[in-house]
Chains A and B, each alone.
Chain A
Amino acid sequence: MELQGLSAPPMANGEVVFDAPWQSRVFGMARALCEQGMFTWDEFREQLILQIETCGNDSDYQYFSHFFDALTILLEKKQLFSKAELMVLSDQFAARPHGHDHSH
C-alpha cells in the first residue's frame, strides 16, 4: 500500500484538499443538492461508504471517484436523473474540439 503524502513534511498544513477542480465541483454539487433537500447527507454518506467498501482499499483507491459514483447512484435511485443521459452528454463533451470555450 502506497503511503501517499504521509511521509511529506508534517508542517505542510496548506496541503491541497482537492487534486483537481472537478473534485471540488463534485463536492459542491453533492452539498448543494443536499442543502436543497434532494437527499439527506446521511443518505449520501451511506451510499459513499457502500462504494468505498465495494471497491475495497486497493491501490487504485480514488476517493472522489467513489464520491462521484455515490452521487450518481443516489440521484438515479431518487429518479432525479439517469446515467444514460450522463453517458450521452459525456460522449458529446469528449468529442468537442480542443480549445473550446471551457466553462471552468
Chain B
Amino acid sequence: MADESPQEIRAEALESILIEKGLLTAEAVDDVITRYSEQVGPMNGARLVARAWVDPQFKKQLLTDATSVVKSFGFEGGQVEKLVVVENTNKVHNAVVCTLCSCYPWAVLGLPPKWYKDPAYRSRIVMEPRQLLSEMGVRLGHHVDIQVWDSSAEIRYMVLPMRPSGTQHLKEEQLAELVTRDSMIGVEVLPGKPS
C-alpha cells in the first residue's frame, strides 16, 4: 500500500475523533456521500430542462419562479434557498460562477465539479468570458451576448440550455438524458443530433 498523505491521515484522524465523541457515525458520512453523488445530481436539473423544452407553461414557471418549481419536485438536498433559471437563446448565452467561494445549486446539479472552485475559472469567466468559454469548447458568434451570473448564499443560478437541433421526435425522458451538468452551468452547448 502506498504511503498515505498527511492530509489523508488528518482526515482519518478527525473522523475517528468525531465518532469517538459521538458527534458522528461513519454511516452518516457514507450516507451524505451517497446522497450527494447519486441521488442529488445533475439528473434533477436535467429533468427540469427537459420538461421546460416540451412544456411552454412549465418553462414559463421555471423562468419566473424556479424556487417553487423545485420545491414542488421535492428534490432532496440542501442549498436551494432561491433558485433562478436563466435561458439561453440565439442572442444570449448564460454562464454561472461563484466569485466569492463555490456557491452552487446542489439540489439540481449535485456536487460542483472541481474546476468550478478553481480561482482561474472564478476570475476568468468574469474578466474574459468569451475567451474562456471558447477554451472550454463553447464558441459563440459575436452577435451572441454573454451574461455571467454570480451565485451567492442567497441566490443560486442554473442555465436552461437551448434544445439541440434534431431532437423534435424525442420524448421528455429521452431529452433529459441529453442534458449535461456543464450545459446547465453554461460552459457547454449541447450538440445537435443528425436528423
Contacts and interface: CB of A to CB of B under 8 A. Distances in A.
Interface of A: 1-7, 9-11, 13, 15-29, 31-36, 38, 41-42, 45, 48-49, 52, 57, 61, 63-65, 68, 71-72, 75, 80-81, 85-86, 89-90, 92-94, 98-99, 102-104
Interface residues of B, number: 61
Contacts of B8: 20-22
7 contacts: A4-B114, A10-B182, A10-B188, A11-B137, A11-B188, A36-B24, A86-B13
Interface of B: 1, 3-18, 21, 23-24, 26, 28-33, 36-37, 42, 78-79, 100-103, 110-115, 117-124, 132, 135-138, 153, 180-182, 187-188
Nearest to A57: B119
B181 to A, nearest CB: 6
B1 A102 contact: yes
A103 B12 contact: yes
A98 B26 CA distance: 23
A10 B138 contact: yes
A96 B14 CA distance: 16
A25 B11 contact: yes
Contacts of A31: 32, 36, 78
